[in-house]
Amino acid sequence: MSLMDSVKGNVDGIAAKVGLTPDQVKSIVTSLQTKLAGGGDKMAATEATAREQGVPVDKIQQIVSAAGGSSLLEAAKGFGKGLFG
């Protein structure tokens, strides 16, 4: 299951938990997944997404955690498996 699948299943709950709107959460996750699709550095992808979306890096990590990933790395690995496997 990809990160986006996890978020889609509970976007309203995740958004409320992290203090963002559902649209913001969807946009952040889409941006992060796009940056991770090429197999790039996970932290660089997170930092670039944070700058692009105007949120702190820890907010993105909260989204990933709330979506069921225990860490950004595990969520990114899950995304990669969903995308390529």
For 21-74, the pLDDT digits (tens) are: 999 999 999 998 888 887 778 889 999 999 999 999 999 999 988 887 655 445
Count of C-beta atoms within a 10 Å radius of residue 47: 14
The pLDDT score that the predictor gives to residue 69 is 63
Supply the Cα-derived Rg of the chain in whole angstroms.
11
pTM for this entry: 0.75
Distance from CA of residue 57 to its chain's centroid? 11
- Do 19 and 60 contact (CB within 8 A), yes or no? no
Q: Which residues contact 11 (CB under 8 A, 6 or more apart)?
A: 22, 25, 26
Rounded-to-integer distance, Cα 35 and Cα 48, Å: 8
